[in-house]
Amino acid sequence: MSDGGASQDGEGFPIADPHEHSSQRLDDLLTAVARGDERAYEAVYDHASGWVLGVARKVLRDPAQAEEVMQEVLLEVWRTASRFDPGVGSATSWVMTIAHRRAVDRVRSERSHSTRELRAATAVIDYDDVTEAVQASLDRERVQRCLSSLTELQRECVGLAYYSGYTYREVAGLLGVPPGTVKTRMRDGLIRLRDCLGVS
């Protein structure tokens, strides 16, 4: 783990280390968790709980609900660790996939009974927030730099979907762009992001 610098709360929090050995380590830890290794699970918690809480907060914007989602995700990690397959992707990506899915499921059930226009306005403002907050560390800077290498439309599409939990059709409505365009911009944006971040 590298020293992550300050988060938007002004607390230091180590975020993902792009170095191979660290992500390799999380892979190994998760494999150990699948065998019921409790110490390995504590280490996975230390590694990943902040990531999971972070993404849950972005999507849910409610600290209490984000904590609940974080706990549920970490419990799910313990329970289903045997399903993690290093051949299919990294442990980081496996954990974050579970985290994002849960946060999005939760925010959609909340949204189904709240004012859409109001949420839409908040989402756009908060997205700018997010890109600001991303600057806190070297890794964050890298993500920020890569995000800014996207076209404006790609960045908006990725931000509204990933950080705000909107479907591509909702994003299309918010931006006044055809859904087909949003789909391809999301894909193009993510591929450009992948190339820029050097993850594969």
Partner 1 sequence: MTESDDQELHTLAGPYVMDAVTQDERVNFVAHLANCAQCQEDVREMREATARLGVAAAVRPRVELKEQTIRAAFRTSQLGPAVSERTDLQLSARHRRRVGRLRPFAERARSVGMSARVALAAAALVVAAAIAFGLIANDAMQQLRHSQRQDHMIAAILNARDAVMLTAHVTTGGQATVVMSHREHGLVFTAHGLRRLPSSQAYELWLMGPAGDRPGGMLGPASDGTAGPAVVMGLGRSDMIGLTVEPASGSVRPSSVMVLLIRQHG
Residues 59-118 that bind partner 1 (CB under 8 A): 64, 67-68, 70-72, 74-75, 78-83, 85, 88-90, 92-93, 95-97, 99-101, 104
CB 198 within 8 A of CB 184: no
Q: Is 155 in the site for partner 1 (CB under 8 A)?
A: no
Choices 24-32, 116-124, 161-169; region in contact with partner 1 by CB under 8 A: 161-169
Q: Is 127 in the site for partner 1 (CB under 8 A)?
A: no
Choices 24-32, 116-124, 137-145; region in contact with partner 1 by CB under 8 A: 137-145
Measure the CA–CA gap between 40 and 38, rounded to whole angstroms: 5
CB nearer to partner 1: pick between 110 and 188: 188
Measure the CA–CA gap between 166 and 164, rounded to whole angstroms: 6
CB 76 within 8 A of CB 98: yes
Report, in Å, the least distance between residue 187 CB and partner 1.
3
Choices 24-32, 114-122, 176-184; region in contact with partner 1 by CB under 8 A: 176-184
Q: How many residues bind partner 1 (CB under 8 A)?
A: 86
Q: Is 54 in the site for partner 1 (CB under 8 A)?
A: yes
Distances (CA, A) of 129 to 80, 123, 125, 134: 34, 10, 7, 9
| Binding to partner 1, residues 178-197 (CB under 8 A) | 180, 182-191, 193-194, 197
CB 178 within 8 A of CB 189: no
Distances (CA, A) of 144 to 128, 132, 138, 141, 159: 11, 8, 10, 5, 12
- Torsion sign over Cα 181, 183, 186, 192: negative
Q: Is 8 in the site for partner 1 (CB under 8 A)?
A: yes
